[in-house]
């Protein structure tokens, strides 16, 4: 289960509804449907003796109510999105701190290994030189002088 799945399950019904409405209002389908409803409203009320004659005062009232609700819904969704972004940033920071700690441990292990390898090479070179000197190798004897 990912972090996103866990977070999604922890949302309240209101937060889920705000997300669904935000996603719906932020789509081309909503824009086209809204324009279509407005056009039908205007045509019906201009052509016939409709319920809202020109200048469409009832339509203005509904649009004002929708704008007020839409603003609130978008603020709720934005506030929740900010909380998600903050939680993700905190998770990223914790991951980065753990990775930094592991890298520092690996760097220390590498330093210790390098020291051991350097000591082993020095011991090997000293043993070779001693073996060559003991064997009477003239090159080793001349370099020892």
Q: What is the pLDDT of residues 58-107, one digit of tens each?
A: 999 999 999 999 888 888 888 888 988 998 999 999 999 999 999 999 99
What's the mean per-residue pLDDT of the chain? 89
How many whole angstroms separate alpha carbon 46 and alpha carbon 40? 10
8-42: buried (b, 16+ CB within 10 Å) or exposed (e) per residue?
Answer: eeeeeeebeebbebbeeeeeeeeeeeeeeeeeebe
pLDDT band at 36 (very low <50, low <70, confident <90, very high): very high
Confidence of residue 143 (pLDDT cuts 50, 70, 90): low
What is the C-alpha to C-alpha distance for residues 10 and 27, in angstroms, rounded to an integer? 25
- Identify the pLDDT of residue 3: 65
CA–CA separation, 72 and 14 (whole Å): 12
What pLDDT sits at residue 109? 98
pLDDT tops 60 at residue 142: no
- When pLDDT is averaged across residues 130-142 and rounded to a whole number, the result is 75
Q: What confidence score (pLDDT) does residue 43 get?
A: 94
pLDDT of the residue at 127: 96
| Cα–chain center distance at 27 | 23
Alpha-carbon torsion (100, 105, 109, 114), positive or negative? positive
Q: Contact, 21 vs 73, CB < 8 A?
A: yes
Please report, for the chain, the start and end positions of each structural domain, with discontinuous segments joined by +.
3-144
DSSP state letter for 55: T
Percent of the chain with pLDDT over 70: 92
Q: Tell me what pLDDT residue 10 has.
A: 81
pLDDT at residue 50, rounded to an integer: 85
* For residue 21, pLDDT beyond 80: yes
Residue 50: cis peptide before it, omega within 30 degrees of 0: no
């Amino acid at each position: 289960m990912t972090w996103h799945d866990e977070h999604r399950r922890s949302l309240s019904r209101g937060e889920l509804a705000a997300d669904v409405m935000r996603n719906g209002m932020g789509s081309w389908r909503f824009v086209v449907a809204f324009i279509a409803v407005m056009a039908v409203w205007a045509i019906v009320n201009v052509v016939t003796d409709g319920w809202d004659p020109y200048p469409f005062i009832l339509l203005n009232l509904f649009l004002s109510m929708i704008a007020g609700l839409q603003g609130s819904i978008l603020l709720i969704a934005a506030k929740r999105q900010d909380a998600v972004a903050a939680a993700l940033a905190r998770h990223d920071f914790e991951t980065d701190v753990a990775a930094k700690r592991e890298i520092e441990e690996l760097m220390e292990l590498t330093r210790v290994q390098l020291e051991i390898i350097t000591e082993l090479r020095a011991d090997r070179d000293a043993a070779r030189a001693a073996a060559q000197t003991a064997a009477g190798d003239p090159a080793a004897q001349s370099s020892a002088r």
